[in-house]
Amino acid sequence: MLKAIIVEDETISRDILSGYLLKYCPDVQLCAATASVSEGLLAIQQHQPDIVFLDVEMPKANGFDLLEQAGSITFDTIFVTAFSHYAIKALNYSAAYYILKPVSIDELITAIDKIKQNRSKQQVATHTRVLLENIKTPQASLHKMVLPLQDGFEVVQIKDIVHCKANDNFTDFHFSGKSKKMICRPLRFYEELLADSGFMRVHKSHLINLDHIVKYTRGKGGQLTMSDGSVIDVSPNKKDELMDKFEKGR
């Protein structure tokens, strides 16, 4: 049985989530449903929960403030939030669990199932640290991300990613130093996530870091030589976009 608390300032949202947990999540014991960061911190101290359902935006202090003030993080966090591009981007960079409002029962159950499968104090602490670092960083310069591996996860510097290659429902990440990691998410996920960090999808199978281009060779679409020595084809329909990025200084 997993102990949980809710930190959510909206009464209706708090009641709906409480009802869903009681009705659809028999493995979760709801210990408290609080309306503010200060109440949430007290509930965390009192109940030592396994999961905290945390609203991102609340009056006076937000969900990230709670994590800052909670000290040593031993609980998994499921963020409950209305859509915010930057908040969602930061959550995705840190591989955090989140549910968009209005809460979907299926998404709630999926998030809890993932936590049950992957509970690890080391993972909780690392994901939270990366998330808080990224939240404090200007949007254009998020610098770290958590990559889910088949046997755990790895924290990487975004600047060290040279290119990414589609591998069925996985993605092969190629790094400076010629190391490679197979990541448990499709390339399209990282195409969207890294779009504002100097990456471009130049081919149906390739997402590249523009900062790691060493040479462009002309052709129908052309080819890129990357800093790790790899040569990547550019799709003809991506050639103009690529040239335009370089003309505008990326």
pTM: 0.69
Count Cβ atoms below 10 Å from residue 214 Cβ, excluding itself.
Answer: 11
The CATH code for residues 143-247 is: 2.40.50.1020
Could you tell me the mean pLDDT of each successive run of 10 residues in the chain, 250 residues long? Answer: 95 96 96 96 96 89 88 89 72 83 92 82 73 67 77 87 95 93 92 89 96 94 95 96 79
Nearest to 4 by CA among 39, 50, 73, 54: 50
Q: Where are the domains of the chain?
A: 2-135, 143-247
2-135 belongs to CATH 3.40.50.2300: yes
Give the separation between CA 207 and CA 176, rounded to whole angstroms.
15
Write down the pLDDT at residue 221.
Answer: 92
Write down the pLDDT at residue 84.
Answer: 66
Tokens of 188: 């399209």
Write down the pLDDT at residue 140.
Answer: 47
Write down the pLDDT at residue 122.
Answer: 63
Write down the pLDDT at residue 178.
Answer: 83
First CA to last CA across the chain, in angstroms? 51
Write down the pLDDT at residue 88.
Answer: 78
Task: Give Cα 133 distance to the centre of its chain.
Answer: 13
CA distances (Å), 210 to each of 54, 88, 92, 137, in order?
Answer: 36, 24, 21, 21
